[in-house]
Structure 1
Amino acid sequence: MLCCLCHCPHLDICLYQDYFGLPDETLYLTVYLMNAYMKAGKVRILSLQLLGIACLFVACKVEVSTCPEPNKLCFMTQDSFSWKELLRMERKILTRLKFELHYANPVHLLHWMAEVAHSTLEVQYLARYFLELSLMEVDCVCFEPAQLALAALHLAQRLFLQERSTKEMSQEGSCKLHTYSESELSAVYPYMAKAALRGPNSPLRATFLKYSRPQKLCISTSFDITASESLSRCLGSPIS
């Protein structure tokens, strides 16, 4: 059983992460911990919310110096469980995963590749938006973190840069940074494009709303997305 945010409508980790002002790294680590925990053993459907919040609690301890208090996390779930149950689940996670809590976080990789490529702020925010949207697509679980990060960056570059410039950059610089073929990256594009074109009609609107704010350059409502022929082509047919 693998976790996809769209399969847990009651468990809006994006909302909690945004509410507490936590860095993006905590969101991806939370989803990774949930997947790892469920891969290692069975989980009851009724325990998914508790598991998600406990994984977020653990991710905060790994990625940031301070983390929300257990009672505040419980309050966000309308006290669906007690702080004692939260701490008990935390111990279960650490025991089942044997304290193996680190992985190649795609956000770290995206930041690094964007810096090397000297990407503009608009491209970086759009790439981060595409990458976060991949969390809503269960099929994206099979892709490697670096593959997701690079695909998000390349897709963002295609939307903001002229096609000629994108090809030149791909030929001159990208081959030095990765070993993925264009077909391997193209396999990721449809999932990100589909989620982006859904916009406010997405099953989970938290990511769309998060990136519609001025602090995120209103990137999710940008004309480059809503009227993008490039994104439509990624789906294989025009979007009406």
Structure 2
Amino acid sequence: MTTKLRELEVKDLLSLTRFFGFSSETFSLAISILDRFLSVMKIQPKHLSCVGLCCFFIAVKSSEEEKNVPLANNLIRITQNRFTVSDMMRMETIIMEKLHWKVKAPTALRFLRLFHSHIQEQLDHER
């Protein structure tokens, strides 16, 4: 796995987020799940698209309204990937197990928002 491959996957996830109109929080959570998984598992580059799509799917199910969650087979079709729903569900289980079923972790976006809020409070106090 290389940094460049990860960056390409992040761009794909951003495209999916925009395509479906999902929130920045969903995108940030998908990246967080992806990075956390990649930090504990070595994967072959050929599996990265399945891992990335599963991380996106997990993030969507955790962050978005249930009625807005796309079906797995629609995600596979839209992304033109060459794996099955069964492959995706199996990978989702592997990811969840490796993350100890803890999906909602602090994200970079959450940190930046908290930091920004703290700076704003400091500026307001100085005025």
Normalising to structure 1: TM-score of the pair? 0.44
CA-CA distance at 1:78 after TM superposition? 1.1
Higher relative contact order, structure no. (Cα contacts within 8 Å, ≥ 6 residues apart): 2
- Alignment correspondent of 2:31: 31
CA-CA distance at 1:29 after TM superposition? 1.1
CA-CA distance at 1:22 after TM superposition? 0.9
The 1:47–1:6 alpha-carbon spacing in structure 2 relative to 1, beyond 3 Å, is closer
The number of equivalent residue pairs is: 124
CA-CA distance at 1:170 after TM superposition? 8.9
Equivalent position to 2:92, from 71, 90, 93: 90
Task: Supply the distance in 2 between the matched residues of 1:47 and 1:6 (Cα, whole angstroms).
Answer: 12
Equivalent position to 1:68, from 57, 70, 75: 70
The amino acid that maps onto 1:39 is S
The amino acid that maps onto 1:49 is S
The amino acid that maps onto 2:70 is P
CA-CA distance at 1:64 after TM superposition? 1.4
- Alignment correspondent of 2:44: 44
Whose Rg is larger? 1
Superposed CA RMSD = 3.1
* DSSP 3-state at the match of 2:31: helix
- Alignment correspondent of 1:81: 83
- Alignment correspondent of 1:169: 123
Task: Supply the distance in 1 between the matched residues of 2:10 and 2:115 (Cα, whole angstroms).
Answer: 34
- Contact 1:50–1:81 at 8 Å: present in 2 too? yes
* DSSP 3-state at the match of 1:81: coil
- Alignment correspondent of 2:16: 16
* DSSP 3-state at the match of 1:12: helix
Task: Supply the distance in 2 between the matched residues of 1:62 and 1:86 (Cα, whole angstroms).
Answer: 17
- Contact 2:10–2:31 at 8 Å: present in 1 too? no
CA-CA distance at 1:109 after TM superposition? 4.2
Spell out the pairing of 1:85-124 with structure 2 (5 A cutoff): 85-111=87-113, 117=120
Q: Which ranges of structure 1 fall in alignment gaps of 5 or more residues?
A: 119-167, 174-240
Task: Supply the distance in 2 between the matched residues of 1:4 and 1:106 (Cα, whole angstroms).
Answer: 20
Bigger drift between 11-20 and 106-115 goes to 106-115
The 1:40–1:12 alpha-carbon spacing in structure 2 relative to 1, beyond 3 Å, is same
CA-CA distance at 1:110 after TM superposition? 4.2
The amino acid that maps onto 1:87 is M
Q: Which ranges of structure 2 fall in alignment gaps of 5 or more residues?
A: none
The 1:102–1:25 alpha-carbon spacing in structure 2 relative to 1, beyond 3 Å, is same
CA-CA distance at 1:172 after TM superposition? 2.6
CA-CA distance at 1:169 after TM superposition? 3.4
Task: Supply the distance in 2 between the matched residues of 1:114 and 1:25 (Cα, whole angstroms).
Answer: 16
